[in-house]
Amino acid sequence: DTEVTQTPKHLVMGMTNKKSLKCEQHMGHRAMYWYKQKAKKPPELMFVYSYEKLSINESVPSRFSPECPNSSLLNLHLHALQPEDSALYLCASSPQLAPLEQFFGPGTRLTVL
């Protein structure tokens, strides 16, 4: 298996909802990333996990809460989001950190109403 999968593909949520995004890879990669991408912009790094530990948090608001339950799985828990949080959320993985090839999933298109 040589891909990163993300679910769901699309998500619409209200500002009071709680939802989660899921990312999975079975390539044995030990680093996993969350990015946010607005339309016509490059991906912006949010979080980095290395060996299941959070190593980088790019000053992301606490309404985004990452979790890495095991080496293959990465979640992003969402709570009390704002309409401006609507974006494409991308997950990526790489064999290790600094700096190696990152492989991206297809993303979750999030709309906050």
Partner 1 sequence: GENVEQHPSTLSVQEGDSAVIKCTYSDSASNYFPWYKQELGKGPQLIIDIRSNVGEKKDQRIAVTLNKTAKHFSLHITETQPEDSAVYFCAVASNTDKLIFGTGTRLQVFP
Q: Which of 16, 53, 70, 98 binds partner 1 (CB under 8 A)?
A: 98
**67: exposed, middle or buried (C-beta count within 10 Å: 0-12, 13-18, 19+)?**
middle
Q: For 62, phi and psi rounded to 5 degrees?
A: -70, -10
Tell me how far, at minimum, the Cβ of 45 lies from partner 1, in Å: 6
What whole-number distance in Å separates Cα of residue 9 and Cα of residue 109? 6
Q: Tell me how far apart the alpha carbons of residues 54 and 68 are, in angstroms, rounded to a whole number.
A: 8
Of residues 15 through 74, those in contact with partner 1 by CB under 8 A are: 31, 40-43, 45, 48, 50, 55-56
Of 20 and 102, which CB lies nearer to partner 1 in the complex structure?
A: 102
Question: Applying CB under 8 A, which residues contact partner 1?
Answer: 4, 31, 40-43, 45, 48, 50, 55-56, 90, 92, 97-107
